[in-house]
């Protein structure tokens, strides 16, 4: 079945079929309906069909993230856009905010713009009670999820093994004699839960019990993190190491500790997460888990290319993280 067959079957010219596939308005509604019906009967969506024919698709990918001012998301968006541009595709970015209704709206918007695929960035997309909007998106176009897993056909998830990374952090710290490890995190996103579970499992496998007093939920605000740690010190709650779900939390913990005369890492070891630009700005420079955002994103776009090329592609890929040693902890 090619464009000639469709034109034949519809009794119209090839140019007319092309106009319909490209969304041109200069086709009567009746003719347009007929052509779209024939294409649908063949089991193709117009987009996929047009691409297969090498016709003018929009060459446009929709990207969704919740907040582009987040340092991790900003980096991810930038890498995805660059990879797509090199592949000849444009990007439309929607920063959705955290409301489910807005996410649905933006998915519809991107589908109406006839994007060729959708890339979702962040584990936040996997934890909705209702992910029918992702199912809807994936029924129309391939949907890539960076750092999150959604079990829906035509979706492709690329994640980093954050559970294992945090587990490994605990093992390394305990080996160095740190048994009381303060854990700092903010939200219970699926990514947040993975890391917290890795921390607990690491302690358990070392024969240690997690202490509720050493698991501290903080707000993503430099001042309040600082105060929360100072507050622990004032209560004489002892700890010999700090693990954080984000670099910022680790850095502000360092500040709180240094302001009370603790030396890092001599007195207390600290490990951050994400290996962001902040690590190089901190003093001492922060040891942090590289959560492989560049590799995740580039792999995601490489998976998308394979999907477009009709190759068989695995629906779930997990990459392992690694520790970047700087000055706040050395193995």
Binding-residue total with its own copies (CB under 8 A): 44
Q: What residues have CB less than 8 Å from 184, skipping those under 6 apart?
A: 216, 218, 225, 228, 229, 242, 243, 244, 245, 249, 250, 253
Q: Helix and strand tally (H, E) in the chain?
A: 13, 12
Residue 278 within binding range of its own copies, rule CB under 8 A: yes
Q: Which of 9, 105, 136, 176 binds its own copies (CB under 8 A)?
A: 105
Residue 273 within binding range of its own copies, rule CB under 8 A: no
Which of 90, 219 has the CB closer to its own copies? 90
Beta-ladder partners of 243 = 183, 271
Upstream peptide bond of 130 is cis (omega within 30 degrees of 0): no
Distance CA 238, CA 179 (A): 10
Could you give phi then psi for residue 99, rounded to 5 degrees?
Answer: -85, 135
Distance CA 233, CA 238 (A): 7
Which of 201, 258 has the CB closer to its own copies? 258
Residue 48 within binding range of its own copies, rule CB under 8 A: no
Which of 255, 315 has the CB closer to its own copies? 255
**Binders of its own copies in range 193-222 (CB under 8 A):** 222
Residue 81 within binding range of its own copies, rule CB under 8 A: yes
**Binders of its own copies in range 15-44 (CB under 8 A):** 25-27, 29, 32
CB of 254 to its own copies, least distance (A): 8
The two three-digit tokens of residue 315, written as one number: 């629906």
Count of residues in the chain: 331
Give contact residues for its own copies (rule: CB under 8 A). Answer: 25-27, 29, 32, 60, 67-69, 71, 74-75, 77-79, 81-82, 85, 90-95, 97, 102, 105-106, 109, 113, 222, 248, 251-252, 254-255, 258, 277-278, 280-283, 285
């Amino acid at each position: 079945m090619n464009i000639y067959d469709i034109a034949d079957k519809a009794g119209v010219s090839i140019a007319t079929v092309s106009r319909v596939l490209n969304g041109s308005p200069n086709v009567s509604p009746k003719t347009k309906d007929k052509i779209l019906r024939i294409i649908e009967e063949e089991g193709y969506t117009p987009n996929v069909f047009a691409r297969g024919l090498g016709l003018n698709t929009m060459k446009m990918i929709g990207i969704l993230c919740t907040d582009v001012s987040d340092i991790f998301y900003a980096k991810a968006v930038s890498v995805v856009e660059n990879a797509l541009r090199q592949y000849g595709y444009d990007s439309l970015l929607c920063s959705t905010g955290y409301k489910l209704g807005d996410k649905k709206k933006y998915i519809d918007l991107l589908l109406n713009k006839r994007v060729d695929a959708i890339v979702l960035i962040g584990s936040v997309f996997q934890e909705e009670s209702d992910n029918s909007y992702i199912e809807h998106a994936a029924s129309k176009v391939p949907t890539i999820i960076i750092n999150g897993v959604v079990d829906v056909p035509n979706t492709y998830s690329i994640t980093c093994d954050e559970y294992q990374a945090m587990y490994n952090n605990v093992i390394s710290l305990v080996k160095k004699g740190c048994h009381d490890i303060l854990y700092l995190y903010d939200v219970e996103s699926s990514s947040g839960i993975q890391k917290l579970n890795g921390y607990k499992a690491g302690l358990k496998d070392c024969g240690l019990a997690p202490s509720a007093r050493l698991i501290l939920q903080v707000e993503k605000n430099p001042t309040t993190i600082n105060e929360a740690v100072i507050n622990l010190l004032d209560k004489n709650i002892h700890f010999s190491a700090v693990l954080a779900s984000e670099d910022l939390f680790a850095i502000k913990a360092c500040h709180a500790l240094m302001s009370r005369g603790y030396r890092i890492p001599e007195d207390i070891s600290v490990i951050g997460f994400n290996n962001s630009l902040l690590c190089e700005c901190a003093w001492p420079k922060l040891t942090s888990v590289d959560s492989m955002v560049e590799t995740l994103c580039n792999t995601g776009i490489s998976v998308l290319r394979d999907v477009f090329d009709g190759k068989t592609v695995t629906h779930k890929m997990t990459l392992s993280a690694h520790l970047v040693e700087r000055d706040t902890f050395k193995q």
